[in-house]
Structure 1
Amino acid sequence: MLHIRMMIPAHRTTEVVRLVERTVGTAHLAVLAGAARVPEGDVVLCDVAREAADGLLQELRAIGIPDCGSIAVEEIELTLSRRADRAEREAPGEAADAVVWEHLEEATHEESTLSVTYLVFLTVATMIAACGVVLDNAILIVGAMAVGPEFGPLAGICTALVQRAPRLAWRSLIALVVGFAAALLLTTGFSLFMDAVGLFHQHQVEGERPNTAFIWQPDLFSFVVAFLAGVAGVLSLTSAKSGALVGVAISVTTVPAAANAAVALGYGDFSQMRGSVQQLLLNLAGIILAGTLTLLAQKFFWAKQRERATAAD
């Protein structure tokens, strides 16, 4: 379940309490009269089943509570309550399938911000992958994919397309483009430095690489895997099962493709660079398409669930 805390003007308390009371899937409603200081007013607390939370938050937004007060939502790890159990049974659908769109937009907004930390993670991941490319070491490639933070902006683009949020789309696109451009250029410099000190050699890159040659040789399977990873990644975000993101990260070759392009650029091997860029774009396109379609399907599914619940009432 989710815990919702609202700070609202006193004259709106009755309206909000009635809204919570008539929402299926709510429990443990409490009103602390006069407890809020900034903004001044009352504090209203309640618990809500995850599958009913999105509808409640949409109605609270519709009556302007975020404009005159505040709404905070927290995950509840454990609730021992028969009323909570009943609320979860009454709410339509399953909690694991529910999408809290407000939470998804907030999460992707944070993950898609072009920050120093994001750039460092992406650059370090690309440099690790560059070492894996030169050494033909699949373990380093997998490690680099796990470190890469690029799924955040990709999920942000998917969410923005479905929710029609142009600011989120623009923010995510900037983080994606600028991040990969910076990582590619810095990794090219890193590769030249490693060559200068005798740790990288051109023959290692242009010779046979049975473990990593697939990185710059994209095919239909690259798109299929990226598409499936996009579905799994978005589901892991919307269902709060973030552990699945690790599997998503190590199943697509976005960071390794950027690394291979950087190393190839340093040695002037434009054939490998072109193939690597194609691999990168193919993976990005597959993830965005799959993520967007998955969110659209979830939105349609929950709209039908709410319609059936309303008709039943």
Structure 2
Amino acid sequence: MLHLRLITPPDRTDDVVDLIEGTVGTTHLAVLPGAARNPAGDVVMCDVAREAGDELIGGLRGLGIDESGSIAVETIDLSLSRRAEEAADDAPGEGADAVLWEQLADATHEESTLSVTYVAFITLATMIAACGVVLDNAILIVGAMAVGPEFGPLAGFCTALVRRAPRLALRSLIALLVGFAAAMAVTVGFSYLMDAMDLFTHDALKAERPNTNFIYRPDWFSFVVAVLAGVAGTLSLTSAKSGALVGVAISVTTVPAAANAAVAFSYDEYKQAWGSTEQLLLNLLGIILAGTLTLLAQKFFWAAQRERTAKSARV
């Protein structure tokens, strides 16, 4: 269930109440006339089943409540109420399958913004991965994958394509390109430093490296895994199962590929650097393709679900 807290202009409160009462899956409606001070207006609160949340939020935005008042949405972890159970049963579909497009757009907007923190995380992840490739240490590679924040801009780019939001697409693309470019540049310098300290060696990079040589040897499995990870990551975002993102992060080799390319470049190993770059681009392409198609499939599914619900209501 979701909890909505609204601030509405007094002349629109009745329209808001009618919309809430007319939306299947809502309950616990409360109206506090004149309770809001900034902005001034009425406070309207209700609970709504997650699967009906996107429709209700869209209707509220259609009434202009987001511009003239406020729409706040919270997830209810526990609700002991027979009415809430009935509302969830009445709403079409399953809550775990529901997509809150406004919430997704807001989350990906934040995660896809180029910031100092984002650049710091992706740079640190790339340097950790650089240690992993030189030492041929799979544990460090996995750790670097988990630290890397690159799935945020990837999800933002997929969302932007589906919602036709060019600003979000540009912001996400800038975060990806600048983030990886900065991380790889710093890692090249880090590699020179580690070499000067005799911690990195050219021989270690050229060794067989059975645990990490797959990073600069891309194949079709790289693309297949990236596609599967893109689907899983997108589903974890839209279903609010964020714990699955950790598994997604450690199943693709974007950060390790960037790290291997940077270290190889510092030692003039251009063949390895190019192979790692191919691995990076292949993973990015697979995730974007899978994420976009997954969002399109979810959008089509819910549109069909609403159509069936509308037909049943008319009957």
Relative to the length of structure 1, the TM-score reads 0.99
Work out whether 1:272 is the aligned partner of 2:279.
no
Work out whether 1:126 is the aligned partner of 2:126.
yes
Aligned to 1:309: 309
Gap regions ≥5 residues in structure 1: none
Matching residue's letter, 1:127: M
The offset of 1:97, in angstroms, is 0.4
Matching residue's letter, 1:155: A
Aligned to 1:285: 285
Work out whether 1:160 is the aligned partner of 2:160.
yes
Aligned to 1:2: 2
**What are the equivalent positions in structure 2 for 1:67-86 lying under 5 Å apart?**
67-86=67-86
**What are the equivalent positions in structure 2 for 1:103-182 lying under 5 Å apart?**
103-182=103-182
Secondary structure of the structure 2 residue equivalent to 1:291: helix
Work out whether 1:300 is the aligned partner of 2:306.
no
Aligned to 1:215: 215
Q: Percent identity?
A: 73
Relative to the length of structure 2, the TM-score reads 0.99
The offset of 1:38, in angstroms, is 1.1
CA distance in 2, matches of 1:165, 1:57: 19
Secondary structure of the structure 2 residue equivalent to 1:6: strand
CA offsets 1:48-95 (integer angstroms, 9 cap, x no match): 000000001111111211111110000100000000000000000000
CA offsets 1:219-250 (integer angstroms, 9 cap, x no match): 00000000000000000000000110010000
CA distance in 2, matches of 1:123, 1:177: 13
Aligned to 2:201: 201
CA offsets 1:161-202 (integer angstroms, 9 cap, x no match): 001111111111010000000000000000010000100000
CA offsets 1:272-298 (integer angstroms, 9 cap, x no match): 000000000000000000000000000
Aligned to 1:238: 238
Aligned to 1:16: 16
CA distance in 2, matches of 1:67, 1:137: 53
Secondary structure of the structure 2 residue equivalent to 1:92: coil
CA distance in 1, matches of 2:302, 2:90: 15
Which stretches of structure 1, 4 residues or longer, exceed 3 Å deviation after superposition?
Answer: none
Aligned to 1:63: 63
CA distance in 2, matches of 1:299, 1:78: 28
The offset of 1:120, in angstroms, is 0.6
Gap regions ≥5 residues in structure 2: none
CA distance in 2, matches of 1:71, 1:63: 11
Secondary structure of the structure 1 residue equivalent to 2:252: coil
The offset of 1:39, in angstroms, is 1.1
Q: Cα RMSD (Å) of the superposition? A: 0.5
